Amino acid sequence: MDLKVLLSSLNDFASLSLAESWDNVGLLVEPSPPHTVHTLFLTNDLTEEVMEEALQKKADLILSYHPPIFRPLKHITWKTWKERLVIQALENRVGIYSPHTAYDAAPQGVNSWLAKGLGVCTSRPIHPSKAPNYPTAGTHRVEFSVNCTEDLDKVISAVKEMADVSVTSFSTRTDDEEQTRISLNCSQEALIQVVAFLSQSRQFYQKTEILSLEKPLLLHTGMGRLCTLDESVSLATMIERIKRHLKLSHVRLALGVGRTLESPVKVVALCAGSGSTVLQGVQADLHLTGEMSHHDVLDAVSQGINVILCEHSNTERGFLSDLRDMLGAHLENKINIILSETDRDPLHVV
């Protein structure tokens, strides 16, 4: 499959527009075109050991959940391991693609997979994603009425001189008087110009409404999940479920104030990876994530919230098995998709 065709299909599977603004997602390393992908190699983290495995298995494109290039590289030398990854990828004509937080937010993504380990439950995103392309223009809408053609022409003429402003008009009747309703969509910057213009005329300004335009929320899409179990279980039972789902022999547990292993768990707030920001202030019986700062754990515990930490990538890596099957179906099995066997969390209990 041609690389560009594959990238388009991957975006159809989970749009990169779902990723957080701070993230570095998409195609990070591209061999010179044309580039055909026969084998897609999946890994959670692209380390040098994983790169060696990918090259041995003749990968044409590496899908690394975490972006190996995050901070800008000032040079590409053999000095650091991330620079060496880029050199090896280019020398061996291997592309590198990272979806990261786009897969966190996706309805069929990492957080939804993590929630599967809790038992039968209903879930919703903690921080829902918003539609990326709506409204099509502007962050604000300014509406007001004019009574005569002369005023309408004056407004239209002025608006045409402003950048980032679109205008529509329609006829209305107020108190048996025909009026023209003007609706302007504009950016935050253009709003200042629009208000300055309207303030010159008391007739316009006193009848002006300014609306903040919010993009609609996307169903089942966003960061983290707030999960409500159909039937509550003890904390001890929930711990065993999580360990079984993540294939871990140990997890780290902080008991909430006044809680024991027999305390009931009905509501679980979870976030794959590092959950401090997403889970902060969320009321639940349990916070489940990979890692959390010491002080955020203390804050949760003080509120009677239990905290389970599993190490960062342990809450993500198992998703790749599901991803392999989903991408196989999505791509109609046109390419070979394989999982890394050397990828693992760098931390383990000794």
Distance CA 208, CA 182 (A): 10
Q: Do the annotations mark residue 312 as ligand-binding?
A: yes
Q: Do the annotations mark residue 316 as ligand-binding?
A: yes
Distance CA 64, CA 10 (A): 13
Query: Distance from CA of residue 60 to its chain's centroid?
Result: 26
* Residues in a beta bridge with 124: 226
* Local structure of residue 312 (DSSP, 8 states): G
How distant, in Å, are the alpha carbons of 127, 128, 130 from that of 218? 11, 7, 6
Q: Do the annotations mark residue 330 as ligand-binding?
A: no
**334-348: string of b/e by CB count within 10 Å (b at 16+)?**
ebebbebeebbbeee
Q: Do the annotations mark residue 35 as ligand-binding?
A: no
Binding residues for a divalent metal cation: 66, 104, 312, 316
Binding residues: 66, 104, 312, 316
